[in-house]
Amino acid sequence: MKQLGGTNGLSRRDFLRSGLVFGVGAQALASGYAAVPDVFARAVLSAKNAAIQNDKVLVMIQLGGGNDGLQTVIPISSSQYRDFRPQLSAAAAKAQPINKDVGLHENLKGIKALYDSGKVAIVQGVGYTNPSFSHFDSIRVWETADPARRQQDGWLGSAIAKNYDSAGHPLVGCACGTTNVPGMLRDLQATLTVIDDVKTFGFQGGQNVENVMGTLYKGTPGMYGALFDSAMSTVRDTVAQLRTSSAKYTPKGNYSDKVQLVYSSKNQLAAALQLAAELIVTGTGVKVLHVTLGGFDTHYTELNRHDQLMGYLDSAITAFHDDLTAYGMADRVMIATWSEFGRRPKENASGGTDHGTASPVFVIGDGIKGGLYGETPSLAKLDQLGNLSYSVDFRAVYQEILASHLGVDAKEILGQSFDRVPFVKAPA
Amino acid sequence: MYEPAAKPVIKKRGLRRRHVLVGVGAAAGGLAITKALGLYNLSSQPSLPGQTESPTVAGIDWISPLDKPDAQVAHLLRRATFAATPSEYQQTIKDGFKKTVDRLLETKAAEPPALAGADDATQEKPIKPQELVAWWLDWMLRTPTPFAERMTFFWHGHFTSDFRKVNLQTPFIYWQNLTWRQMSLGNFHDMLYQVTIDPGMLRYLDLGTSTGKAPNENYSRELMELFTMGVGTFTEDDVRAGAKALSGWREPVTQAMYDALVARAQQQGRPAPRNVTPDTVKTGVFEQQRAYVGGVKFLGDVRQWDTRAALEKILTQESVAPFIVTKVLREFVTDQPGDAYVKRLADGFRKSKYDVKSLMRDVFMSPEFVAPTSYRALVKSPTELMVHMAKALESPALAKAIGLAGQGMGQLLFDPPEVGGWPSNASWISSNNVLARVNFAQATLTGMARIPAFKDAHTIHLDGVVSPATAQLLNSSPDDATRWLILLASPEFQLK
């Protein structure tokens, strides 16, 4: 609290929350807001973290646009599936069966191999009540873990702020392969950094310029002042951390992008995961990472596009897991996918699918108790809009990640408890 | 442990800031700060040890200079255009605020020179993305009608499309830019129809492949959610009905695309495709046999719809004017426009039958535009930032470099991150982006053969209102190159 006293004893969180920077409701939703940490965050809960810090790492992979669960975990024996999807159901014959009812997409070969070795949990039918069909609205629900839409902080940002003393450790929360702060990580009290490309993450002009910028971004007035100042201090901490990281890193997985780039998958997943691996392996203190693969809004010619995306996802995750295994870290790292919604069972005229509801979540790692969780969504019992019903609340998945993997108080972050989805082998 | 300690001071902070903003309680603290912020004798005064200690100003707002005519004009140029070169600035100061608003609004958008080869883009000869981006940036830097250009940029974020999905093997995304510019100051009503049948949009949001038999909902949803009404103002049934009502359009085929198709067929020994003919229009083509026939209930009315009728119906919705006005205000005035302000401008927008020019006049002439709370209340997008840098340094040749740097700051033109367009304001601020912005300033200055004299750049570009840290660094800089770096990399310059 001493440091807080130095800045008039004021909480930046409360300052910002008083509405001076961000509004609530639709406008704030539309813009999102950046969570950039600063000196105010540095005094947070240092006493608490000693007890809860384990060596686990979480990597969240966003499948942006709404991943089609029915083309990912395919209901191979369902005649309704063929009826709803005359074109897209061609995927069923090529799927890799995991039981008599469902099979993994043919391009998920690496993930299938990991599944067969018990390292992949597939939670089926994940969703929430009164689902939104808006990308932005539903992304916000998943990001804040709050279907009531009262929260502004991301659930992971909140987990960082409440549990980790990030003073001098700017990489506790890190978005890789992107330029802006992803909503899941944002929390005004969480220190987090964003690294698009580690090779260019440094000051052109060297130490001199860095020193000048440190002076320039201090005590900046105005409603964005604290955000700018803290972003710059995070830059400098990140540069210092990257400079002093102990180990040398050479990738030991095959991250080459063999699959053709899909139109809007501008976040190159393989490159982002390679960066994530580098940060994990070199001991930069990363704890919670976020990467994105876009292009899943497959309203048209889905068969081709989704095939490519599956291949892209599979090769990137396989390379990442191989890499971590080679460095002996695969038991520490959990990979989990998320997407704002699944897609409509019935295909449209463009050979694609429109926005839908429940879809599967993949959780991958050596600490995972592999298998199928949740219920396979029924195509016989669609809701009145022709969509799938969910069987697992997405927050139950979050709960298992928080409590059993990271070993933090999930209820403090989620506000309530859910039935356990026990995909972590040895809960923290 | 943390929250209880913090709570009692929230009010103090809120009050304090408001005092400063309205100038009421600023007498004691404010004067001292004004002095601290002043840049006295910039070029001659050496840096004195002991003066370099900045007072703690966290939570204190900028002292708004917007009661002064010159500052008002500079403020207008930063927001209604991509800011100004020193000579543009001097001329505008002479004209004054009102005359400048008139000139900006009443001058028809100047057309950029054609991008060579773009009209004839094909699979074999696609548009190169870096050329397309540099072409537009070059025009942002040189156009004689910078407000129309700024509005084109606004519409590019609002009615957005990206070159990845639209694909550069057609002229569609290039045409879209030309169309948005032609429509930029017209009627929202007319523009919405043009947007709906725009070839790039037909592809980006899939209306071009939607049919009455199996409609594609993508355009119908985003038309209401992102383009006109806002989330939560319509039902899922409206989305489905809208998709039917709007169906029947297809993309046009250019002569060049047709020729390429025929040539490919010949090469592969196939007959020329008989079901395709070249179109002469630069819009979508309506095919009745692909449209939906029959009555549907859309936004409360049951009838046989066509595209125009469906758009008319949307524009009768109460939510449209406040939705558009809010978006405009968040881009041009303040991140947090008040309800009464939105309502006032929305009423005018409706009364003008959605005339964009009249809305923008209301925006710039509103007292809120020059209110102290609006000063530095917006964050420049990467494009605005870099174009302003090039103008400040009088270096129009920077277009290509700006294009290349945009991606690392989150803004590659023609490639928005999502269907919602570009982020705004606070969302631009991240460690990655702040570093990339500073690095661009450094790289640009390093690469310049001759750096212009600094002179009164802090007045022209920052209204002479700078933080103690910026003032101290400017005062103690050994040369103009360093002063430019401080200015261009400063937090002040990131704001508009």
Tell me if chain B has a CB within 8 Å of the CB of A223: yes
Give contacts of A215 with chain B, Cβ < 8 Å: 469, 472-473
Residues B147, B360, B94, B74, Cα dihedral to 10°: -80
Tokens of A367: 């600490």
The pLDDT tens digits for A278-322 are 999 998 889 999 999 999 999 999 999 999 999 999 999 999 999
For residue A426, being part of any structural domain is answered with no
| Number of domains into which chain B is organized | 2
The more confident residue out of A19 and A329 is: A329
> How far apart, in whole angstroms, are the C-alpha atoms of residue A426 and residue B433?
39
**How much is the average pLDDT of A95-110?**
97
Residues B344 and B203 both lie in one domain: no
For residue A172, being part of any structural domain is answered with yes
The pLDDT tens digits for A60-72 are 999 999 999 999 9
Give contacts of A179 with chain B, Cβ < 8 Å: 407-410, 430, 432-433, 436
Q: What is the CA radius of gyration of chain B?
A: 25
For residue B252, being part of any structural domain is answered with yes
Give contacts of A263 with chain B, Cβ < 8 Å: 162, 164-165, 167
Which of A180, A234, A241, A346 should we substitute to test contact with B (largest number of B Cβ atoms within 10 Å)?
A180
Say which of B58, B231, B446 has its CB closest to residue A8: B58
Residues 137-156 (A) with a CB less than 8 A from some CB of B: 137
Supply the pLDDT for residue B31.
Answer: 28
pLDDT band at A277 (very low <50, low <70, confident <90, very high): very high
Nearest Cα residue to A288 out of A240, A330, A335, A338: A335
Instruction: Output the domain CATH number for residue A197.
Output: 3.40.720
For residue B494, being part of any structural domain is answered with no
Q: Could you give the C-alpha distances from B345 to B328, B338, B342, B350, B369, in angstroms and in order?
A: 10, 11, 5, 9, 12
| Number of domains into which chain A is organized | 1
pTM of the model: 0.88
Strands (E) located in A342-408: 359-364, 371-373, 392-393
For residue A98, being part of any structural domain is answered with yes
Among residues B315, B333, B364, the one where a domain terminates is B315
Among residues B315, B349, B384, the one where a domain terminates is B315
pLDDT band at A188 (very low <50, low <70, confident <90, very high): confident
Which of B34, B430, B444, B494 should we substitute to test contact with A (largest number of A Cβ atoms within 10 Å)?
B430
Residues B191 and B288 both lie in one domain: yes
Most confident range (mean pLDDT) of A145-149, A243-247, B2-6, B51-55 is A145-149
**Shortest Cα distance, chain B CAs vs residue A215, angstroms:** 7
List of residues 6+ apart from B70 with CB closer than 8 A: B93, B463
CB A396 within 8 A of CB A412: no
DSSP state string for A281-335? HTT----EEEEEE------SSHHHHHHHHHHHHHHHHHHHHHHHHHTT-TTTEEE
Residues B311 and B326 both lie in one domain: no
Nearest Cα residue to B421 out of A338, A136, A42: A136
Residues B311 and B344 both lie in one domain: no
Supply the pLDDT for residue A164.
Answer: 85
- Segment (H or E) for A237: helix A225-244
**Shortest Cα distance, chain B CAs vs residue A423, angstroms:** 32
Residue A47 has pLDDT above 50, yes or no: no
For residue A132, being part of any structural domain is answered with yes
Residue appearing with tokens 């919604």: A341
Give contacts of B432 with chain A, Cβ < 8 Å: 178-180, 193-196, 201
A18–B428 CB contact, under 8 Å: no
Give contacts of A205 with chain B, Cβ < 8 Å: 442, 446
Tell me if chain B has a CB within 8 Å of the CB of A33: yes
Residues 385-424 (A) with a CB less than 8 A from some CB of B: 385
In chain A, the percentage of residues whose pLDDT exceeds 70 is 84
Say which of B9, B13, B213 has its CB closest to residue A349: B213
Tell me if chain B has a CB within 8 Å of the CB of A22: yes
B430–A136 CB contact, under 8 Å: no
For residue B327, being part of any structural domain is answered with yes
> How far apart, in whole angstroms, are the C-alpha atoms of residue B52 and residue B38?
14
Maximum Cα interatomic distance, chain A, rounded to a whole number of Å: 68
For residue B383, being part of any structural domain is answered with no
Residues B249 and B179 both lie in one domain: yes
Residues 354-383 (A) with a CB less than 8 A from some CB of B: 354-355
| DSSP classification of residue A92 | H
Q: pLDDT under 70 in chain B at which residues?
A: 1-59
Which of B432, B462, B473, B485 should we substitute to test contact with A (largest number of A Cβ atoms within 10 Å)?
B432
Residue A7 has pLDDT above 80, yes or no: no
Handedness of CA B277, B283, B286, B290 (dihedral sign): positive
> How far apart, in whole angstroms, are the C-alpha atoms of residue B295 and residue A314?
46
Give contacts of B225 with chain A, Cβ < 8 Å: 134, 136
Tell me if chain B has a CB within 8 Å of the CB of A13: yes
Nearest Cα residue to A64 out of A197, A193, A182: A182
Give contacts of B414 with chain A, Cβ < 8 Å: none
Residues B350 and B334 both lie in one domain: yes
Query: Quick one: chain A helix, strand, coil %, rounded to 5?
Result: 40, 15, 50
> How far apart, in whole angstroms, are the C-alpha atoms of residue B76 and residue A169?
41
Supply the pLDDT for residue B5.
Answer: 34
Residues B325 and B298 both lie in one domain: no
What is the CA angle A330-A334-A338, rounded to 5? 145
Chain A / chain B CB contacts < 8 angstroms: 274
Q: What is the mean pLDDT of chain A?
A: 86
Give contacts of A203 with chain B, Cβ < 8 Å: 435, 438-439, 442
Tokens of B312: 């008319």
Say which of B13, B54, B494 has its CB closest to residue A15: B13
Residue of chain B nearest A65, judged by CA positions = B418
Tokens of B467: 């933080």
Burial of B280 (0-12, 13-18, 19+ CB in 10 A): exposed
For residue B302, being part of any structural domain is answered with yes
Q: Which domain holds residue B127?
A: 114-315
Which of B7, B435, B477, B493 should we substitute to test contact with A (largest number of A Cβ atoms within 10 Å)?
B435
B429–A231 CB contact, under 8 Å: yes
Tell me if chain B has a CB within 8 Å of the CB of A212: yes
Q: Which range is least confidently modeled, A129-138, A177-186, A267-276?
A: A267-276
Residues B209 and B349 both lie in one domain: no
Supply the pLDDT for residue A54.
Answer: 81
The more confident residue out of A35 and A254 is: A254
The pLDDT tens digits for A344-388 are 999 998 899 999 999 999 999 999 999 999 999 999 999 999 999
Nearest Cα residue to A334 out of A413, A232, A428: A428
Q: What is the ipTM of this complex?
A: 0.88
Q: Which domain holds residue A342?
A: 2-414
B162–A23 CB contact, under 8 Å: no
For residue A425, being part of any structural domain is answered with no
Supply the pLDDT for residue B128.
Answer: 96
> How far apart, in whole angstroms, are the C-alpha atoms of residue B281 and residue A81?
41
A347–B210 CB contact, under 8 Å: no
